[in-house]
């Protein structure tokens, strides 16, 4: 019988090293990759994977581990394409989002081994038993860690299941922290990519080409004299254009201009028009 103390030291050493790394603030993709592998080794599973279940969309599988010599992606494509719809673990996440540790016996319906999923998926990939850590991040998304054994191996026993249950809260915290960081990184990357574009096109939907050119320089911090010198026109012409810009944007000062620019960025999405004002001004025109 496997116990916490009889499990080989290397997996436990990796576990403690991983926890120390996460506590120190490192919860990146590499840490999660290590986590998936450590969990596999801790209960002597043949395979492990991380699945992301977005509500109403196909799952994603960022990480998958198998025994040495096996292709870790050999069958996952079939699962992600369509077989997941029949998966009892997916049904649990989709119908009643919940968090906890579940064995295949906990969630599989009676006669599961005669089901279509077992025939087209489990049997073909030689799955004999499975433990899943289900983490309901919110109403729109769940994370699942799957630990599996082949048909020719014994099923996970109660001690191994109890071990996973004991560390579940820690695994859940790590994956939530990783997901939050990943979402923030996506947001930061999006803003880095689109901020310059938004600045370049800000006001272009309502201003003339010359007014847009002057507006760009004003937003970049150029004073009237500097703009006049840069464009080789008089300061009076710059002031005239600035007055027209303020009028068209329904503002009265440079401070309001900067606030308008910052506020309009909140409306920017991957599918927004080039000028962030296009979406921002719609509610005001309604």
CATH number for the domain that contains residue 228: 3.40.50.2300
In a domain, 192, yes or no: no
Q: Are residues 103 and 227 in the same domain?
A: no
198 vs 269: CA distance, rounded Å: 11
Q: Are residues 27 and 55 in the same domain?
A: yes
Residue at which a domain ends, from 160, 185, 210: 185
In a domain, 222, yes or no: yes
Sheet containing strand 60-65, strands side by side: 60-65, 47-54, 141-150, 127-138, 100-103
* pTM score, whole prediction: 0.62
Nearest to 268 by CA among 258, 256, 260, 280: 280
Helix, strand and coil in the chain, % to nearest 5: 55, 15, 30
213 confidence band (pLDDT: 50, 70, 90): very high
Q: Note the pLDDT of residue 283.
A: 53
In a domain, 2, yes or no: no
Average per-residue pLDDT for the chain = 82
User: CA-based angle 54:23:52, to the nearest 5?
Assistant: 10
Q: Note the pLDDT of residue 278.
A: 84
Q: Are residues 44 and 155 in the same domain?
A: yes
Q: Are residues 177 and 235 in the same domain?
A: no
Q: Note the pLDDT of residue 70.
A: 64
84 vs 159: CA distance, rounded Å: 28
In a domain, 196, yes or no: no
Q: Which residues contact 72 (CB under 8 A, 6 or more apart)?
A: 47, 49, 64, 65, 66
Q: Note the pLDDT of residue 72.
A: 56
Q: Are residues 106 and 150 in the same domain?
A: yes
Q: Note the pLDDT of residue 3.
A: 43
The alpha carbon dihedral of 216, 221, 224, 226 has a sign of negative
Strands 47-54, 127-138: pairing is unpaired
User: Per mean pLDDT, which range of 113-117, 149-153, 227-231 is the poorest?
Assistant: 113-117
Give yes or no for residue 5 having a pLDDT over 80.
Answer: no
Over residues 44-68, the pLDDT tens digits come to 998 899 999 998 888 999 988 776 6
In a domain, 194, yes or no: no
Q: Are residues 18 and 92 in the same domain?
A: yes
Q: Are residues 19 and 148 in the same domain?
A: yes
In a domain, 82, yes or no: yes
232 vs 226: CA distance, rounded Å: 10
Q: Are residues 88 and 135 in the same domain?
A: yes
Give yes or no for residue 2 having a pLDDT over 60.
Answer: no
Task: Please give the full DSSP string across 212-275, using - where no structure is assigned.
Answer: HHHHHHHHTT--HHHHHHHHTS-HHHHHHHHHHHHHHHT--SHHHHHHHHHHHHTT--TT--SS
Over residues 152-185, the pLDDT tens digits come to 899 999 999 999 999 999 999 999 999 988 887 6
Element (DSSP H or E) covering residue 64: strand 60-65
In a domain, 191, yes or no: no
Over its C-alpha atoms, the chain yields an Rg (Å, rounded) of: 28
115 vs 74: CA distance, rounded Å: 22
Q: Note the pLDDT of residue 127.
A: 79
Give yes or no for residue 81 having a pLDDT over 80.
Answer: no
Q: Are residues 206 and 180 in the same domain?
A: no
User: Could you give the number of structural domains in the chain?
Assistant: 2
In a domain, 190, yes or no: no
Q: Note the pLDDT of residue 71.
A: 64
Are 18 and 31 contacting, i.e. CB atoms less than 8 angstroms apart? Answer: yes
234 confidence band (pLDDT: 50, 70, 90): very high
32 vs 179: CA distance, rounded Å: 10
Residue at which a domain ends, from 185, 219, 250: 185
Q: Are residues 176 and 40 in the same domain?
A: yes
- Report the largest interatomic distance among the alpha carbons of the chain, rounded to a whole angstrom: 88
How far CA 205 is from CA of 177, 201, 239, 251, 281, in Å, comes to 41, 8, 21, 16, 11
Structural domain of residue 119, as residue ranges?
Answer: 9-185
Nearest to 96 by CA among 111, 110, 107: 107
Residue at which a domain ends, from 158, 185, 212: 185
Kindly report the backbone phi and psi dihedral angles of residue 30, in degrees, each rounded to the nearest multiple of 5, phi listed first.
Answer: -65, -40
Q: Note the pLDDT of residue 6.
A: 42
Q: Which residues contact 112 (CB under 8 A, 6 or more apart)?
A: 88, 104, 118
């Amino acid at each position: 019988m496997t116990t916490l103390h009889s499990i080989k030291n290397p997996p436990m050493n990796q576990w403690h090293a991983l926890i120390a790394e996460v506590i120190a603030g490192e919860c990146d993709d590499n840490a999660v990759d290590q986590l998936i592998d450590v969990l596999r080794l801790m209960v002597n599973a043949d395979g492990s994977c991380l699945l992301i279940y977005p509500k109403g969309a196909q799952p994603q599988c960022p990480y998958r581990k198998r025994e040495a010599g096996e292709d870790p992606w050999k069958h996952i494509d079939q699962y992600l394409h369509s077989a997941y719809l029949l998966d009892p673990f997916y049904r649990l996440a989709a119908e009643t989002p919940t968090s906890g540790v579940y064995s295949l016996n906990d969630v599989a319906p009676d006669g599961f081994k005669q089901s279509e999923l077992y025939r087209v998926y489990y049997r073909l990939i030689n799955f004999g038993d499975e433990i899943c850590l289900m983490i309901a991040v919110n109403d729109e998304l769940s994370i699942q860690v799957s630990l599996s054994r082949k048909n020719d191996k014994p099923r996970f026993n109660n001690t191994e299941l109890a071990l996973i249950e004991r560390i579940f809260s820690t695994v859940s915290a790590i994956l939530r922290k990783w997901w939050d960081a990943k979402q923030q990184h996506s947001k930061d990357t999006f803003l880095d990519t689109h901020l310059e574009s938004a600045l370049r096109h800000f006001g272009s939907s309502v201003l003339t080409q010359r007014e847009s050119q002057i507006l760009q320089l004003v937003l970049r911090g150029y004073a009237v004299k500097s703009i006049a010198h840069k464009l080789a026109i008089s300061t009076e012409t710059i002031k005239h254009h600035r007055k027209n810009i303020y009028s068209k944007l329904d503002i009265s000062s440079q401070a309001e201009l900067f606030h308008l620019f910052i506020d309009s960025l909140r409306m920017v999405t991957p599918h927004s028009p080039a000028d962030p004002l296009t979406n921002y001004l719609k509610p005001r025109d309604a």
